[in-house]
Structure 1
Amino acid sequence: MDFSLGDDRRMMADSLSRYFSDTLDWEARQAAAHSEDGFSRQMWSGLTELGVLGMLFSEEAGGYGGSAFDAGAVFSEVGKALATGPFLATLMAGKVLEAAGEADTLGEVIAGSRLLSFADEPAINADGSVVAPVRATQDGESWRLSGAKGVVEYLGAADLIVVTAETEAGPSTFLVASDADGLKRRSYRLVDGGAAGELTLDNTPARLIGDAGGAQQALDAARAMGLVATVWEAVAIMEVLRDATIDYLGTRKQFGVPIGAFQALKHRMTTVALEIEQARSSAINAAAHFDKAPAVRDRFGSAAKYTIGKVGALTAEEAIQMHGGIGMSWEMPLSHFAKRLIMLDHVLGDEDAHMARYLKLAAS
């Protein structure tokens, strides 16, 4: 079976790599990541002109891709550049819109005229309890939402928010304008760069996406696509850390020789390299099985997410330890890549959660 990206994906990935290289050097990345928005709007506008967002969605939805490998190719370059922006939120919320045939709204997002976010996670109290689950009530032909969502990606910059909510018929999705009545946003910056926010809804008007109670299948698929994107981004970051560490081991000298010549460090670095190849294989498997039956898709997705959590921790720890104290310095990009890699383990469920999920799926 051929798991190569193919010429079209490779061309777009190369274009995206050059774009990030030309517009998002390290100083620009740091300035954008720690700005009020958490990302560069100018960079995002350039991505839409380049057609990058269109690669995430099908032709019927106004894009020109939409497969798991398309998402993987984009998120690999995002990982290599350590770019911040509503990439994951746009992908997952966009997949919900795509499944419901919301081509017009999604077209505005692909064109860059609207910024989209995805409010899926509940807001959590300090004791782990849910603040207030979002529930939807119907008022004639319209709907209203009340409740709270937590850690909503780039909430402060969003124009539109796809919100998951419970109705009497079951799980549903709604589209909410960021300036709607009863909507409150509390934004904050994230420890690894970028921004998120807490969303509070109080009888807020919303538009139903698809059918009431019929969102579970679309949500499962959107979350599964988010897992694929996350694991491909993580593998790309591991490669950056690996290459930076190998380069450092070849230039840093002790006793007159590069420390990379020491057998103990060679063995440790070989282990890291082999584990990264395992993580890459798991990411490819997740993409390759995405269009299979949901249970198969989810099993391979959880296997990949568990693997990148385990291997990511090893890669980040070894990279920092082999660099010594300089590996933890704010001025060195390596520390920021390592931080992002560790944080990715907690996006859409950590390795423990996905090990439990994998075992449950494998037993069914």
Structure 2
Amino acid sequence: MNAMLTQSDEQRMLVDMVDGLLVAEDHAWSNFAEQGLLAMPFATGEGGLDSSAADLSLVMGALGRADVDVPFLASAIIGSRLVRNLASPAQRLHWAPKITAGTMVLALAHAEPGQHFDAAPVGTIAEPTASGFSLTGQKTMVLGGKHATHFLVSATGPSGLNVFLVPADAAGVTMSPHWLGDGAELTLTGAELSSSNLLDGPDAAAFLAAALDHGLAGLVAGAVGAMEQLHHLTIDYLKTRKQFGVAIGSFQALQHRAVDMLIELEQARSMRDHATAALDADPAIRRRAVLAAKAYVDGAARLLGETAVQLHGAIGMTLESPAGRLFRRLSTTQMQLCDRTQCLHELSLSPASLLEEDE
């Protein structure tokens, strides 16, 4: 299956390794650590691999194809990027080995009730105490929150926007997992933190925005991977399911539906690659690229998913069917970080067309 437009030998080896890992029934987080996947976002001086955004996208695509529920996006892409860019050198040296070993699992808690995809201004308050800070507020739609050992919580403090590392088992922290997916709701009621839990690098807002954009690109890559697998399963089903003594794939009307699925998939791949390539660009260009990709892929995923379910028939509606589970995964992804409506709204406010160069 096509994972990216072009791949180096090393990237093909990475995909083969991840695919092989995901074939096994045991998807333990420790296995991801042992294979070095959790070290990918960190610099080599911190025990990491300093992997590119394209490499991380390949991992997300493999996870999407395998429909595996692990917090790679939340911890290894969004959370690790925040720690790498916003934490002090001493904090990184202390936390990075735990993250890469899989014993510290991160989840960003930023969105808030009533704001969801645009948590600005941040209503969670960080009040100074004798030993550090006390956090009070509520966070919603915390991606990967069900698996987290530590939350990266955005809060408004005396100096403005800050990000804190909050242990999931700290007093005053209540996590309520969603019934579908790996998300959660988070309530902080006077959660006491040491001053060492404040990520004290400069410009928290800029690094938070960058981490969220990388998260959107990761979501897109995972969705495209799920779409690839769903398309593959549907084509196989059309070739093997028989009606009136012939394979239903011989019916021209169903062939046309399969072609429509392929067109959506190929366009989604292009948008994924465009977003991934833009992650190192100017923040405004990066933001438009990931928003456009998420908006397009959300729509394509819905069309491809609904078509796949229709072509599978009743079995496609069940969670016993891989097609049904992939359809559920794609439906959940459409509501994560930024839905299609919000993406299009934010794009409409952009001062420049996506097809024009910034001056």
Q: Give the shorter-chain TM-score range.
A: 0.7 to 0.9
Identity over the aligned pairs, expressed in percent? Answer: 34
1:178 aligns with 2:178: no
CA distance in 2, matches of 1:197, 1:7: 38
| Residue of structure 2 equivalent to 1:236 | 225
CA distance in 2, matches of 1:61, 1:337: 36
| Residue of structure 1 equivalent to 2:112 | 122
1:339 aligns with 2:339: no
| Residue of structure 1 equivalent to 2:215 | 226
> What's the CA shift for 1:144?
1.7
CA distance in 1, matches of 2:218, 2:44: 20
Q: Equivalent of 2:39, from 54, 63, 81?
A: 54
CA distance in 2, matches of 1:114, 1:122: 24
Is the deviation greater in 149-158 or in 352-361? 149-158
Q: Equivalent of 1:64, from 42, 46, 49?
A: 49
Amino acid of the structure 2 residue aligned with 1:269: A
Amino acid of the structure 2 residue aligned with 1:88: L
> What's the CA shift for 1:158?
2.6
Q: TM-score, normalised on structure 2? A: 0.88
**Counterparts of residues 82-231 of structure 1 (less than 5 Å):** 82-90=67-75, 91-100=77-86, 101=89, 102-123=92-113, 133-140=123-130, 142-190=132-180, 194-206=181-193, 207-211=197-201, 214-231=203-220
| Residue of structure 2 equivalent to 1:272 | 261
Deviations 1:136-161 (A, max 9, x none): 12225612211111232443543221
CA distance in 2, matches of 1:143, 1:307: 41
| Residue of structure 2 equivalent to 1:304 | 293
Could you list the runs of 5+ residues in structure 1 that have no partner in the other structure?
A: 25-39
User: CA RMSD of the aligned region, Å?
Assistant: 2.3
Q: Describe the shift of the 1:60–1:356 C-alpha distance in structure 2 as closer, same or farther (beyond 3 A).
A: farther
Contact 1:143 1:205 in 2 (8 A): yes
Amino acid of the structure 1 residue aligned with 2:312: H
Amino acid of the structure 2 residue aligned with 1:244: L
Contact 1:185 1:199 in 2 (8 A): yes
Q: TM-score, normalised on structure 1? A: 0.87
CA distance in 1, matches of 2:126, 2:82: 17
CA distance in 1, matches of 2:146, 2:136: 19
Contact 1:286 1:301 in 2 (8 A): yes
SS across alignment from 1:173: strand
| Residue of structure 1 equivalent to 2:357 | none
| Residue of structure 2 equivalent to 1:15 | 17
Contact 1:61 1:98 in 2 (8 A): no
Amino acid of the structure 2 residue aligned with 1:166: T
Deviations 1:40-70 (A, max 9, x none): 6xx1111101111112333244321342212
| Residue of structure 1 equivalent to 2:356 | none
Amino acid of the structure 2 residue aligned with 1:76: G
Contact 1:119 1:149 in 2 (8 A): yes
Q: Describe the shift of the 1:343–1:249 C-alpha distance in structure 2 as closer, same or farther (beyond 3 A).
A: same
Aligned pairs, number: 339
Contact 2:109 2:152 in 1 (8 A): yes
Q: Equivalent of 1:322, from 311, 314, 322?
A: 311
Could you list the runs of 5+ residues in structure 2 that have no partner in the other structure?
A: 354-359
Deviations 1:148-194 (A, max 9, x none): 1123244354322111111233221011122222222223431xxx4
Contact 1:5 1:69 in 2 (8 A): no
> What's the CA shift for 1:125?
10
Q: Equivalent of 1:81, from 45, 52, 66?
A: 66
SS across alignment from 2:262: helix
CA distance in 1, matches of 2:351, 2:274: 16
Deviations 1:53-109 (A, max 9, x none): 112333244321342212101101110111112222102111110002424212211
